Amino acid sequence: MNALFDHGLSTGNAVLLFVCLGIALGFEFVNGFHDTANAVATVIYTHSLKPTHAVVLSGICNFLGVFSAGISVALGLMKLLPVELLVSSGTGKGLAMVLAMLIAAILWNLATWYKGLPASSSHTLIGAILGVGIANSLLPGHHFGDGVNWQKAGEIGISLIVSPLFGFAASALLLVLTRRFAARAGLLEEPPKDQPPPFYVRALLVATCSGVSFAHGSNDGQKGVGLVMLILMGLVPASYALNLHATDEAYRGTVVAVAHIEQTLTAHADAHAEAEVRNIRRALDAVSAQVSAHRSVSDIPREQRFEVRGAILRADKALEQLVKHGGLGLTESERRTLDADRKAMRKLTDYAPQWVLFVIALALGVGTMFGWRRIVVTVGEKIGKSHLTYAQGAAAELVAASTIGFAAVSGLPVSTTHVLSSGIAGTMVANGSGVNLGTLRNIGLAWIMTLPVVVTLSGVLFLVFRAVLT
């Protein structure tokens, strides 16, 4: 963290840095009390835990979850952005991008929280990222939609659509199986008022609440990590553009990976892709020259580290596009080898310091303990027409925890809110309890409105901030 006090940082930029970091932590704090209320709703409404105990437990599990799944989700979200913005350091386009995304996401999260709507922070952040990318493509010298990774956007969009549908169906099926094979007295009935459930039921519900909270931290925490890294790489590029603590093996592996990629280009380059290959070679040569000339990342001159980062990102993006359009004609085995070389090359850029994970985990965990009541009431009382039973709460949370955890490991952002609330709706249908169509309509409207509203808001903010800061 001492790198924040980089001697090349002016007083004005230092103030700007801490303001931006404060806004990023604010987003994660809001994310905590907005999303994790879903996890504690079931244990509160089944009287398994008192509200205070539930939110503290959830906060601790969220904190621990941030450290569990690496940063694949964070990197996936960053890949939605145009490379042009990712290689823009300083207080211009890069800073305008981060501020626009953060402010748009926080405003929408606060608005939906105030209305008690369990809207998705993941959905919100993705909308903010797309809004910035689309707005950037409207600037002179660009074509509309240029630079946005629409393939990655499609993958993430599918995960956001499929995951709540899976949550609904799997939770309903799990409840049906419970009714069929584990129908113990009281398990499928409304919990007695102000009485805790039997010990084994209470243990199960507390475990599932902990699992959802842990999974939420492992998935949603990465989004905050990605935002903080964008800020650091933009404002303190000498210290954060490259991983200063990369191992000797990773550092030497970069040179080897670049050499392998150049050999692949020589062996497979299509004559029709000559211009693309030439640009890739130029970027690879820049990386190889700097890395080969020094013994470690810290030996690379401070003013050249961001240039190395930019060259790696440009080469990697161009390679991805070239392979996608068949410009290299690789076999499946050769493609896997190239993917491994690209990953090895990116080890200097794809990282996050431990202190970043810690402050994001702290913001998310503490945020869980505030402002939870509005969303809890919606989830616990307004989705179905009857009170949650023990079996319904356990079924919805088991499915949510496993779905979110799997997505985090796979590098796909999913919505804790949508997976869990759809799971509860599924159990209500399976139980014959009926659902509150008014609440589901409002949740659906929030889901539908999130993208257009946040895309527009973040796009406008980006253009305004860009005009002011450049």
The highest-confidence range among 189-193, 285-289, 377-381, by mean pLDDT, is: 285-289
Task: Inform me whether the pLDDT recorded for 7 exceeds 60.
Answer: no
The pLDDT assigned to 106 comes to 84
pLDDT tens-digit map of 399-417: 888 888 887 777 777 777 7
Q: Which of 184-193, 303-312, 316-325 has the lowest mean pLDDT?
A: 184-193
d(CA 136, CA 317): 18
| CB-facing half-sphere around the CA of 265: CA atoms within 13 A | 27
Task: Inform me whether the pLDDT recorded for 116 exceeds 70.
Answer: no
How large a percentage of the chain has pLDDT more than 90?
16
The highest-confidence range among 98-102, 151-155, 186-190, 379-383, by mean pLDDT, is: 98-102
Between residues 8 and 458, which one has the greater pLDDT? 458
d(CA 414, CA 122): 6
The pLDDT assigned to 101 comes to 86
Confidence of residue 186 (pLDDT cuts 50, 70, 90): low
Q: Which element (helix H / strand E) includes 216? A: helix 199-235
Cα 428 to Cα 165, 186, 215, 415: the distances in Å are 14, 16, 23, 20
Task: Inform me whether the pLDDT recorded for 243 exceeds 90.
Answer: yes
User: Going by C-beta distance under 8 Å and a sequence separation of 6 or more, which residues neighbour residue 413?
Assistant: 73, 76, 77, 122, 125, 126, 156, 159, 160, 219, 220, 222, 223, 407
The pLDDT assigned to 1 comes to 57
d(CA 296, CA 250): 10
Mean pLDDT, range 233-239, rounded to an integer: 82
Mean pLDDT, range 371-379, rounded to an integer: 59
The pLDDT assigned to 340 comes to 94
Q: Which of 120-124, 211-215, 241-245 has the lowest mean pLDDT?
A: 120-124
Task: Inform me whether the pLDDT recorded for 63 exceeds 80.
Answer: yes
DSSP string, 77-118: HHTTS-HHHHT--SSSHHHHHHHHHHHHHHHHHHHHHHTT--
Give me the phi and psi of 68, to 5 degrees please: -95, -25
As beta bridge partners, residue 405 has: none
Q: What is the mean pLDDT of the chain?
A: 80
Mean pLDDT, range 177-206, rounded to an integer: 74
Mean pLDDT, range 260-287, rounded to an integer: 84
Give me the phi and psi of 408, to 5 degrees please: -65, -45
pLDDT tens-digit map of 119-145: 677 778 888 888 988 888 888 877 777
Confidence of residue 94 (pLDDT cuts 50, 70, 90): confident
The answer to whether 341 touches 264, Cβ cutoff 8 Å, is yes
The pLDDT assigned to 244 comes to 92
DSSP string, 290-325: HHHTSSSGGGS-GGGHHHHHHHHHHHHHHHHHHHHT
Give me the phi and psi of 374, to 5 degrees please: -60, -50
d(CA 443, CA 446): 5
Task: Look at residues 323, 328, 312 and name the one whose alpha carbon lies nearest to residue 266.
Answer: 328
Between residues 447 and 340, which one has the greater pLDDT? 340
Domain extents in the chain? 2-236+353-469, 247-348
